[in-house]
Amino acid sequence: MRVLQVSEFIEIVNGILRETLSGEVFAVEGEISGYRVNQGQWVTFDLKDEKSLLNIFMPLWSLNVPLEDGMRVKVFGLPRIYPKYGKFSITAERVELSGEGALKKALAALRLKLEKEGMFDQARKRSLPRFPRRIALIASRESAAFGDFIKILGERWGGLEIDSYHVLVQGQRAPQDIVKAIEEANSHSSKQGESSYYDVLVMTRGGGSLEELMAFNDERVVRAIFGSKIPTLVAIGHERDLTFAEEAADVRGSTPTDCARRLVPDKRDVLYELAMALEKIEGSMATSLEEKQAILERAFAAPGVWLMGRTVELDGMSMRVVTAVDSWLLQLHQNLSDKLRLLQSLDPRAVLRRGYAMVKDMAGKAVTSAKTLHFGDAVTLVLQDGEVGATIDGRGDKFQTKLL
Amino acid sequence: MKKDTKEIDMGKGFEELENIATWFESGETDLDQGLQKFERALEIASTLKKKLSVAENKIKEIKKKYES
């Protein structure tokens, strides 16, 4: 019989377990219960089936899917007894979700969590510069996406400085690779002294299955994109694939090709725009010049125009005075002849011409009453063609009547 | 006459002409006054005309000086 110390015994058991199990790849599948994160870095949970239970232990950094109680998972790792507490557990290297449904459920949980933290917040999205000069490109150099992106970029725009950060875009190591590349690009950018050494950080990958795209749903990748000081443009998979990485990015491209289109304008569009702008400027310059010319011309002509106006006014006024004087004189003449006509009609000689005579006394005054005449008075008879002297020789009714 | 040219102000000259025209049109009968006024009117008109023609020449001169 051998008597073994506790440590020795555990050492032997762990050795046997290691030797027996490390030769082949295996995973233990079961349902999670009692999921906990301790001290922000250690994950523990129980893996159960209907009859049995296993303790699982793993560091948080190697966990790449969000877990919660009730999920079915495959745990990869080696079992051992933890010497200090004598507890048997599997130290997990990685955990995979079992089945499509589980993955979707896990993604939904992660989405909720990231959303709550504001990772997808529209309000914090930055806009990309219209004409970027330097970009950091995170992609797999061997991928078709890389080639497409570079090709479209060349067709649309030239003269870009592109620093390519080669990464794995699927598999277990991909998230770490991508996070490292994002961090490197950011630190390189800030080391240059310019905060905007890179104008845009571009990340792209072609289409694939949900599992193949999982690196871009990885929480670490999403956080790295969220934390990037360089504005981000992310395009993963096809139009219908929407990863968290894209949602966290400042701008999302639907495909690698679309990504290139969003990064740079088409030079033909820009040239056209430039031509239009130039035309507009020329047009408004010409209009402005014409307006100024017209103002100048008017100013130049103004004294002449004013003078012309005054001359016309003066001519008019002179004409008015002359006309007024003419008609005034005519009016005076008219008045005069009216008066003359009146006088003519009153002329007593006109009566004499009809056969009447006028009697004047010695003083030459007209005698208008028989009563003023007396016998023997000398009078003068005025006839139409001259005067004769006469003496009054009688006074009587007949005479009187005749005179009247 | 030259003195008059300076004395008669453009605006006042026009005003006076206007008044004289109105005087005649209103049917006044004082012949002597009328003759006086008519002469005054012609004097003003001719003075203003001269002024205008001087100004016109001056304008032409200035224009010529600055036209290029």
| Alpha carbon B3 to chain centroid, angstroms | 13
Q: Which range has the worst mean pLDDT, A20-24, A94-98, A250-254, B9-13? A: A20-24
Got the DSSP string for A338-387? HHHHHHHHH-HHHHHTTT--EEE-TTSPBP--GGG--TT-EEEEEETTEE
- pLDDT category at A399 given cuts 50, 70, 90 is low
DSSP H or E run through B49 = helix B31-66
Per-residue pLDDT tens for A150-172? 999 989 988 889 999 999 998 77
Cα separation of A227 and A222, whole Å? 9
Work out the average pLDDT over B17-27: 88
Cβ pair A248, A226 in contact under 8 A:
yes
pLDDT value of position A275: 95
Nearest to B25 among A300, A318, A324 (CB): A324
Asked if residue B3 has pLDDT above 70, the reply is: no
Tokens 């009692």, residue? Answer: A34
- pLDDT category at A100 given cuts 50, 70, 90 is low
Q: Are strands A87-97 and A72-82 parallel, antiparallel or unpaired?
A: antiparallel
Per-residue pLDDT tens for A350-383? 788 888 888 888 888 888 888 888 888 889 998 8
For residue A401, CA distances in Å to A369, A371, A390, A394 come to 12, 12, 19, 13
Asked if residue B1 has pLDDT above 50, the reply is: no
Are residues B20 and A321, on separate chains, in Cβ contact within 8 Å?
A: yes
Cβ pair A76, A96 in contact under 8 A:
yes
For residue B39, CA distances in Å to A373, B28, B36, B43, B66 come to 59, 16, 5, 6, 41
The residue extents of the domains of chain B are 2-66
**Residue A212: which residues within 8 A CB-CB, separation 6 or more?**
A170
pLDDT value of position A404: 46
pLDDT value of position A401: 47
In chain A, the percentage of residues whose pLDDT exceeds 70 is 96
Cα separation of A155 and A161, whole Å? 15
Length of chain B: 68
At residue A303, what is the residue type? P
Number of separate helices (H) and strands (E) present in chain A: 10, 13
**What CATH number was assigned to the domain covering residues B2-66?**
1.10.287
Chain B interface residues (partner A, CB cutoff 8 A): 10, 14, 17-18, 20-21, 24-25, 27-29, 31, 34, 38, 41-42, 45, 48-49, 52, 55-56, 59, 63
pLDDT value of position A358: 87
Asked if residue A402 has pLDDT above 60, the reply is: no
How far B21 CA sits from the closest chain A CA (Å)?
5
pLDDT value of position A29: 92
In chain B, the percentage of residues whose pLDDT exceeds 70 is 90
Q: Which range has the worst mean pLDDT, A3-7, A282-286, A301-305? A: A301-305
Are residues A317 and B21, on separate chains, in Cβ contact within 8 Å?
A: yes
pLDDT value of position A8: 92
Q: What is the mean pLDDT of chain A?
A: 87
Per-residue pLDDT tens for A23-34? 677 889 999 999
